[in-house]
Amino acid sequence: MTIDLRSDTVTRPTKEMQEAMWAAPVGDDVMGDDPTVNALQEKAAALFGMEAALFCPSGTMTNQLAIRVHTQPGSDVICDKNSHIYLYEGGGIMLNSFSSVKLLDGDRGRINASQVADAVSPEGDIHATVSRMVSLENTMNKGGGSYYDFNEIRKISTVCDQNKLAFHLDGARLFNALVETGESAKQYGEVFDSISICLSKGLGCPVGSLLLGTQELITKARRFRKVMGGGWRQAGFLAAAGIYALDNHIQRLKEDHNRARTIGEIFLQKSEVEEIYPVDTNIVIIRIAHEISAQDYVRKLSESGILAVTFGKNLVRFVTHHDFNDDHLEELRKKLLK
Sheet holding 309-310, edge to edge: 273-276, 283-288, 315-319, 309-310
**Contact (Cβ atoms closer than 8 angstroms) between residue 315 and residue 286:** yes
Q: Where are the domains of the chain?
A: 3-9+252-337, 15-248
119-147 residue pLDDT tens: 999 988 999 999 999 999 999 999 999 99
pLDDT along the chain (338 residues), means of 10: 96 98 97 97 98 98 98 97 98 97 98 98 94 98 98 98 98 98 98 98 97 98 96 97 98 98 97 96 97 96 97 96 97 94
Enclosing H/E stretch for 54: strand 52-56
The burial class, CB within 10 Å (0-12 / 13-18 / 19+), for 39 is middle
**β partners of residue 131:** 76
Fold of 3-9+252-337: Aspartate Aminotransferase, domain 1 (3.90.1150)
275-287 residue pLDDT tens: 999 999 999 999 9
What integer pLDDT is reported at residue 279 of this predicted model? Answer: 98
Q: How far is CA 20 from CA 16, 125, 144, 248, in A?
A: 6, 55, 33, 12
**Contact (Cβ atoms closer than 8 angstroms) between residue 111 and residue 77:** no
Collect all residues with Cβ–Cβ distance below 8 Å to 40 and sequence separation of at least 6: 53, 55, 210, 239, 240, 242, 243, 246
Q: CA nearest 253: which of 278, 283, 280, 281?
A: 281
**Contact (Cβ atoms closer than 8 angstroms) between residue 187 and residue 174:** no
What integer pLDDT is reported at residue 72 of this predicted model? Answer: 96
Round to whole Å and give the CA distance between 124 and 266.
Answer: 55
CATH class of 15-248: alpha beta
Collect all residues with Cβ–Cβ distance below 8 Å to 205 and sequence separation of at least 6: 13, 17, 199, 238, 241, 242, 245
Q: CA nearest 278: which of 109, 81, 82?
A: 109
Q: Could you write out the DSSP letters of every residue in 229-270?
A: T---SSTHHHHHHHHHHHHHSSTTHHHHHHHHHHHHHHHTT-
Q: Please give the single-letter amino acid code of residue 223.
A: R
Total-model pTM: 0.97
Round to whole Å and give the CA distance between 100 and 135.
Answer: 13
| Torsional class of 303: left (φ above 0), alpha (ψ -120 to 50), beta (otherwise) | alpha
